[in-house]
């Protein structure tokens, strides 16, 4: 079913880049799904650090017109479908969105995307919980696939208390890896609940602490907290490093670097489906830190940028 009547909807975005107060609610024409596309009536959109960078102008205008709408994660109910799609009106789906491309970010009442950018939300998972999964879950799966470590290999994860970190630790354990996670004192209980094999103190000495556990260094490392050169000594010679935020990594000791770019997973429906299964069976720890109405997006960004948020803040529509 594809609606034909002209319809407007609300989106949250910025016309001028800057601080959280630049975020506003805008009324624009609602998108319609074309062939191979699905539209969901969004119930929840997760708020992530990527969203704050977009709002601040880090990515520029990326060739589109204002308002510039953040958000890479959404969950909702299908309310319109194009031709040749497997989803039906009324199904609950979670989706990854591309705020720096078409069809745009997830802070919207109606999100249109290719059907491959979405998957069914298990009955046991709320839409708010589901909205925390796609972007960070796909990032974690891509990182682990790039590292391609055999079961029993050692993997260190920095930023383990964050959403990406918790997903990495959980998925790495499920893959049979020996996991070393970092944690600040205030987050130690949270990280321990993920059951990594070892926990080291977060901070400037984390590489040294990992080397004390593994004198030759670990086989792989995902630098979720972007410690950069500071964390490289934790790797063994010839080790494998997955980086985020576009760092290209070191050129030393035969270390292989794999930059993680989640937009490459936009149509990875098989991986989204895998994440949904992990959410259903409890492999992924789904934590919603707070739910705020979309009209309070500025407050959500202030909360996130203040630091210390564990789990994802979710905007509700």
* pLDDT profile of the chain (317 residues), mean per 10: 69 97 97 97 97 95 91 98 97 97 92 98 98 98 98 98 97 98 97 98 95 98 94 97 87 94 96 98 97 98 96 97
pLDDT given for residue 162 in this prediction: 95
- Locate 106 and state its tokens: 């997830």
Whole-angstrom distance, CA of residue 286 vs CA of residue 128: 9
Residue of 143, 214, 163, 160 whose CA lies nearest to 51: 163
Three-class SS state of 37: strand
Whole-angstrom distance, CA of residue 134 vs CA of residue 118: 9
pLDDT given for residue 64 in this prediction: 85
pLDDT given for residue 247 in this prediction: 82
Residue of 36, 175, 29, 50 whose CA lies nearest to 106: 50
pLDDT given for residue 245 in this prediction: 80
- C-alpha dihedral sign at 164, 169, 175, 177: positive
- Tell me the CATH number for domain 136-263: 3.40.50.720
Quote the pTM value: 0.95
Residue 276 exposure: Cα atoms within 13 Å on the Cβ side: 22
pLDDT given for residue 3 in this prediction: 53
Phi/psi at 144 (nearest 5 deg)? Answer: -65, -35
Structural Rg of the chain based on CA atoms: 20
Whole-angstrom distance, CA of residue 156 vs CA of residue 142: 16
CATH architecture of 8-132+286-316: Alpha-Beta Complex (3.90)
pLDDT given for residue 101 in this prediction: 85
Q: Where in the chain is the domain with CATH 3.90.180.10?
A: 8-132+286-316
Non-local CB neighbours of 123 within 8 Å, separated by 6+ positions: none
pLDDT given for residue 173 in this prediction: 98
Q: Where in the chain is the domain with CATH 3.40.50.720?
A: 136-263
């Amino acid at each position: 079913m594809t609606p034909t009547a002209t319809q407007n909807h609300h989106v949250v975005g910025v016309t001028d880049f800057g601080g959280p107060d630049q975020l506003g609610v805008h009324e624009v024409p609602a998108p319609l799904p074309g062939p191979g596309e699905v539209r969901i009536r969004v119930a929840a959109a997760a708020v992530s650090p990527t969203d704050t960078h977009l709002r601040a102008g880090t990515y520029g205008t990326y060739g589109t017109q204002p308002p510039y709408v953040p958000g890479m994660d959404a969950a909702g109910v299908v309310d319109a479908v194009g031709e040749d799609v497997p989803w039906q009106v009324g199904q609950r789906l979670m989706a990854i969105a591309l705020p720096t491309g078409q069809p745009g970010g997830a802070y919207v009442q109606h999100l249109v995307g290719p059907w491959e950018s979405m998957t069914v939300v298990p009955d046991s998972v709320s839409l708010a919980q589901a909205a925390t999964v796609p972007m960070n879950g796909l990032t974690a799966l891509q990182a682990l696939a790039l590292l391609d470590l055999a079961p029993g290999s050692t993997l260190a994860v920095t930023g383990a208390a964050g959403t990406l970190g918790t997903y990495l630790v959980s998925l790495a354990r499920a893959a049979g890896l020996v996991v070393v996670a970092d944690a600040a004192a205030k987050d130690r209980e949270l990280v321990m609940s993920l059951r990594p094999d070892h926990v080291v103190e977060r901070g400037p000495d984390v590489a040294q602490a990992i080397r004390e556990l593994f004198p030759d260094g670990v086989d792989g490392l995902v630098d979720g907290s972007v410690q950069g050169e500071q964390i490289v000594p934790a790797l063994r010679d010839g080790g494998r490093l997955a980086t985020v935020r576009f760092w290209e990594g070191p050129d030393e000791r035969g270390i292989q670097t794999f930059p993680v770019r989640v937009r490459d997973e936009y149509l990875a429906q098989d991986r989204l489906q895998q994440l949904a299964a992990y959410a259903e069976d409890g492999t992924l720890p789904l934590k919603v830190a707070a739910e705020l109405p979309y009209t309070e997006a500025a407050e959500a960004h202030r909360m996130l940028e203040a630091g210390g948020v564990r789990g994802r803040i979710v905007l509700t529509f």
